[in-house]
Each structure stands twice: as C-alpha cells, then as structure tokens.
Amino acid sequence: MFAYNMNFLMRESIIRRYLVLVPFLMVAFGCAKMNTPSGGPKDKTIPVIVKSIPENGATGFKGREILVTFDEYVVLEKIAEKFMVSPPMKKKPEVVVRGKSIRIRYEDELRDSTTYTFYFQDAIRDLNENNPINNYQFVFSTGPFIDSLSVTGNVYSALNLDPPENTLVLLYSQLNDSAVVKQIPDYITRAESNGEFRIDNVHPGTYRLYALSDADNSKNYNNSDELFAFYTEPIIVTPEKNFLPVKKDSVTVTIKPAAAGKVIVKPPVKGEYPLILFSAEKRLHYLTSSSRKQPYQLFYALSLPPDSLKFEFAIPGVAPDAWFIEKSRNRDSITVWLTDSTVYNRQEIETIVRYPFTDTLGITAMKYDTIQMRYQAPRAVRTKIVKRTPYKVSTGITSQERPDKKITFTAQSPLLPPDTSKLILYELVKEQRVRHPFTLSRDTSYASRYHLKTELLPGKSYLFITDSAAFSSIYGDYSDSAGIRFSVMPAESYGKLILDLSGFKGGKIIQLLDSQEKLVRQVYQRDTIKLEFPLLEKGKYRVRAIFDLNNDGKWTTGDFNQHRQPEPVSYYPGEIEIKENWEIVNPWKLSQENYKESKLQIVKTSVR
C-alpha cells in the first residue's frame, strides 16, 4: 500500500513538472515558427519617368498622341478634375493608363508655332503606396522653340482675402471684354490651395488676366453667379520682366505627426499680379420660393428687393382685411399672416402675387403668378390625454449675461400686447427681491417680437418671472409660466480694445471679428480717430477695415461691366489677444491696399 502511494505521488510530481514546462515550450516553438515577411520599410519614392514619346520639351511636334512611361505601375487620381491643357483645347484630351505608361490622345488641330502645356497637378501616383508626382507638366511646341516666359500672382477672396477653392486663372491675348465671356483663353492654370498661381510657357505679348470659379466648366465667364476677378490693366509679358525659373513644387506641404488627417500648407509666395475674386451683384428679379409652414402663415422670397416696384398679394373672393403683411428689413422676404379662420382653415389656398421679374432680354416688369399654398396638418398621435402645446416665447436669457444685454421676446406668431401685470423683473439683494423697473416696446418690423428696456447693473443678480398667459397670440395661444434667474457679469470680467487709427480719411467700416472671423461688432467712421471696443470677452480677435469709396455705408462688390473692382478690404496685422480686466491700445495706419497677414492654413484631408 505504501509503495503504491509512493508511485502515485512520483507520477503526480512528474505531471506537474510537465505542466509547468508546457508554456515555455509553446513560447520557444512559437519563436521558431515561420511567418510571412513584413515587406520591409514603406515605399516613399515617387514614380520615375523612364521615357516619353515625344520627349518632354520637344519642338516641331505635330502628332496626336503622347506616351509617358514610368519605372513602376501608376494610377490616375481625379484626372477629370486635375488635368488641364494650356492653351485649352475645344475637346478635352483622353488620358488613360496602360500598365506603367500614360497615353494622351486628342482630336483638336494643333495651332502653329504654339507651346502646349499639359498640367497633371498631383494626379499621377504609384499603384502601391499612392505616392504622387507633384505639379507634373508635359510641354511641347509645334514651332521651333519653347516659350519660356511666366506670369505669377495670387488670388484672394474679396471680403476676407482668403485664398478661394478651385479657381482657374485665365490669360487672353484678345484684349476686348467680350473675349472672356465668349471664347476660351490662350493660357490657363489652376490656382494652388494657398491662392498662388503661375502660368508657364507664355509667349511674349500683351494680355488680359482673369480668375474664375468655373461652375459650368466652360472656361469663360458666362454666368454672373460665378466668382470672378479681373486685373484692371492689360499685362505685358516680356523676357526682361516676366521670366522666372520653374520651381519644383509651387506649394510645400508638411504633415504634423500629432494632427492626423490635417495638412499644413505654407504661406504663398507673393506673385506679381493680385486678383480679387468677387461675386457680382445680383440684377435679376424673380420669385425664389414660397411656403406655408403654418396654416395661417404664407411666406414668399424674392431674389432682390422690389426697389421702386412693389410686391402685391391677393386671395380671390377674400377681403384684404383678412390678412396683414410683414416685410424683412431688406424687403426681399414677405410674410403674410392670415387673420380670418375661415380662410386659414382651408387645406389649400389660391393666392395671386404680383412682383418684379426680369426676362431673358434683361427687361424687368411686373409679373402675375397664381400660387396654390397647401398646408397638411400633422397626423394626431393617439393618446389617452391630449396635452396642449404651450405657446413658446423665447427671451435668449442665459444664466450669465453681459451688462449690455438686450432682452427680446420672440414668438412663433404675432403677439397681442403683453399683460405687463404678469411680468416681473426682480433684482436679488441678499435674501430679498426688489422690483426692477422696465418697459416693453413692440418691434417696428415684426409683430411677433417685443423688446424689454431696462438697465442691468454689472455684478448684480436678477429673476425674471412670467405668469401664465402673460403672452398671447392673435390666434388665441397663451404662454405658460416661467422663471429665469441670471446674473450680470462685472465689468472686470471683460477687456477693452482701443485702436489708434491713422491714414485713410474717408468713410470706412471697422469690423471686430472673433478668431473664426465671425462678426462681433462694427462701427462706421468718417474721421480717423481712436476707436474703442469695450466689454470684450477674453479671447483672440481680428480687425477688418472696409473702405467705403462710394459712401453708401456698406461693402460694395465688383462689377466687370463697369470695370469696377470690389471696395478694398484691409486687416489689422495679426490677431489681438484680449484678457480680463485689461485695456489694449494698438496703433493702426489704414491703407486701401488689400492686405491680410499670411498665416499657416490647416486643410483637412482624408487619412490614408
């Protein structure tokens, strides 16, 4: 019995040892296991051109096909968008991939003694890692030499001076204005994402220079809704003035390791010719839309204010006292409030409107339209208890307010005069409520808006109470009771900016913008004096000056027909940081030159 137990214990000890060794053996054999090779370091080299037929830079070429061969397989990315020919061809060439080669075929008859440039931008990439060849160009001439002159410049958006997206730059040898409207250009290129442009292989001569956001791919300015820019004077391209060596990359791009999916584009090189891109002022009158969101509310939108003409409204068989009309401040939006329930309870209402309309010949006259205004009431939800939807009246009050807060009551339909006995504003003094005086006034333009006028004291706390039915609409809706407690921030919580202006003496609009360039405040000035912006929240700001050359009190866009550039815009150099309880005085010499300090632009891209 004892021997049996000893043998059992020995076998159990051996088994335990093997169990302990098993993990180590698995690791050892796992290390010796054959795996698929990782493939080595990532390929970062771009495709290399082995040969081309004809050679890049060939002269006297009259063929209809070009073949470019690389040292590896390539693909074309967004070739329809990125590929361009200068001077443009009537029919776009066919560009296809054949293994390691790219074949270009075209049907157009080539011009005599002309240098052609085929722009690929970064469309050519290797098959495996998608490495692009940046700014690749294939150049040949039908004559005995290659034109080697260049035109450089920058494109800016008119109001914010940022580089616009997807903008073409056009060069015309014909100097009359109709050329850019009716004909394709002699030379063409696409501005870089930072606004910089360069047209290479230009023949000596005198040209007109334009920029265009080509919405219809026509390569000319045949639509007034397109963004457009023109250089005021003809430009003269000569070997002495305009020759510049070709850069390998017109835009240098680096990627931040900590910001995946974002590309930082370096500021542009300042070229010789600035182009200010603008949208022409609308001139066509028409009705843009109509809607009936509520049974008693009819809405009409016009493309332009009627000016001396009118907007007229009628419902056949219904007296005019069954509605009243509100117009927006710009008078291009019209709201009709129906007041007769026998009318607005109809599911469909036939309305007749009369408004200015511009025909295809450019003649504006009054036009009649019959418009059916339908309203489909939402389907009722089956519930045991039907709850009344409260009449919503918003105040815009938050828990912490500025000392200059303007309290406005806004409703979803026209208001009757509020019951002021049911509106109470308290100042909270320790544990006590002290009534604070206020008055109410109706908005002069909108029947659904009232303004509360009072003086809110910095550092104080308030309680605003509205009892039930304090507000009511002309349709019999009533508001619920509510209480809003809020405090007014002390003046020490804000900073102040003082601009010591000098230079330009005429009318100007000075705009204070936040870090995202949204308008915070603006002031119109004729004199050039110190300008104060008090009660600013801490943060970074920019300041923009609009030079009101025509003294109409607003920024005026450009007009190609009148050869009028958009009114100049200039920025204070750099951002201004405002701190709490801090006053900053900055001098600023104003100039009509379009100016905005260059800064790195972060452009979002997809992560590969």
**Domain at 562, CATH number:** 2.60.40.10
Confidence (pLDDT) at 528: 76
Q: Which structure tokens are listed for 519?
A: 């308008």
CA 545 to chain centre: 20
Q: Which structure tokens are listed for 429?
A: 């003094």
Percent of the chain with pLDDT over 70: 85
Same domain? For 587 and 499 the reply is yes
Confidence (pLDDT) at 21: 46
Res. 388: pLDDT tops 80: no
Among 489, 515, 540, give the residue marking a domain's end: 489
Q: How confident is the model at residue 250 (pLDDT cuts 50, 70, 90)?
A: very low
Same domain? For 338 and 403 the reply is no
Same domain? For 485 and 527 the reply is no
Confidence (pLDDT) at 267: 63
Q: What is the pLDDT of residues 454-501, one digit of tens each?
A: 999 999 999 999 999 999 999 999 999 999 999 999 999 999 999 999
Q: Tell me whether residue 35 is in a domain.
A: no
- Of residues 82 and 521, the one with the higher pLDDT is 521
Confidence (pLDDT) at 606: 33
CATH number at residue 435: 2.60.40.1220
CATH number at residue 337: 2.60.40
Sequence-distant (6+) residues with CB within 8 A of 375 are 292, 294, 295, 347, 348
Same domain? For 433 and 403 the reply is yes
Q: What is the pLDDT of residues 573-603, one digit of tens each?
A: 989 999 999 999 999 999 998 989 865 444 3
Q: Tell me whether residue 510 is in a domain.
A: yes
Same domain? For 314 and 266 the reply is no
CA distance linking residue 442 with residue 417, whole number of Å:
8
Q: Tell me whether residue 184 is in a domain.
A: yes
Q: CA geometry: angle at 527 spanning 525 and 531, to 5°?
A: 60
What's 322's DSSP letter?
A: G
What's 320's DSSP letter?
A: G
Cis peptide before 87 (omega within 30 of 0): yes
* H-type alpha helices, 2-97: 2-31, 79-82
Residue 488's closest CA among 458, 452, 453?
A: 458
Q: Tell me whether residue 384 is in a domain.
A: no
Confidence (pLDDT) at 257: 40
Q: What is the pLDDT of residues 54-90, one digit of tens each?
A: 999 999 999 999 999 999 999 999 998 889 899 999 8
Going by their DSSP bridges, the two strands 136-141 and 115-121 should be labelled as antiparallel
Residue range 364-388: average pLDDT?
79
Average predicted confidence (pLDDT) for the chain: 86
Residue range 488-515: average pLDDT?
95
Helix (H) or strand (E) holding 180: helix 179-182
Residue 394 β-bridge partners: 410
Is the CB of residue 454 less than 8 Å from the CB of residue 462? Answer: no
* H-type alpha helices, 376-486: none
Supply the range of the domain harboring residue 593.
493-603
CA 238 to chain centre: 38
Same domain? For 273 and 156 the reply is yes
Determine phi and psi for 409, rounding to 5 degrees.
-95, 125
Same domain? For 203 and 259 the reply is yes
Out of 24-28, 182-186, 510-514, 558-562, least confident range: 24-28
Q: How confident is the model at residue 384 (pLDDT cuts 50, 70, 90)?
A: low
CA distance linking residue 48 with residue 68, whole number of Å:
10
Same domain? For 458 and 363 the reply is no
Q: Tell me whether residue 170 is in a domain.
A: yes
Among 465, 489, 513, give the residue marking a domain's end: 489
Q: What is the pLDDT of residues 100-147, one digit of tens each?
A: 999 999 999 999 999 999 999 889 999 888 899 988 999 999 999 999
Q: Tell me whether residue 23 is in a domain.
A: no
Among 84, 116, 141, give the residue marking a domain's end: 141
Q: How confident is the model at residue 22 (pLDDT cuts 50, 70, 90)?
A: very low
CA 5 to chain centre: 87
How many domains are there within the chain? 5
CA distance linking residue 533 with residue 84, whole number of Å:
49
Q: What is the pLDDT of residues 30-41, one digit of tens each?
A: 444 444 445 555
- The greatest distance separating any two alpha carbons of the chain, rounded to the nearest whole angstrom, comes to 123
Same domain? For 499 and 592 the reply is yes
CA distance linking residue 521 with residue 448, whole number of Å:
25
Q: Tell me whether residue 33 is in a domain.
A: no
Amino acid at 254: T
Percent of the chain with pLDDT over 90: 71
Sequence-distant (6+) residues with CB within 8 A of 367 are 354, 355, 356, 357
Same domain? For 264 and 163 the reply is yes
Q: Tell me whether residue 41 is in a domain.
A: no
Q: What does 548-570 look like in DSSP terms, one character per residue? A: -TT-SSS----BTTTTBPPPPEE
Residue range 303-311: average pLDDT?
89
Helix (H) or strand (E) holding 586: strand 583-590
Q: Which structure tokens are listed for 53?
A: 């037929």
Q: What is the pLDDT of residues 260-286, one digit of tens each?
A: 444 445 566 788 999 999 999 988 999
Same domain? For 293 and 410 the reply is no
Same domain? For 113 and 100 the reply is yes
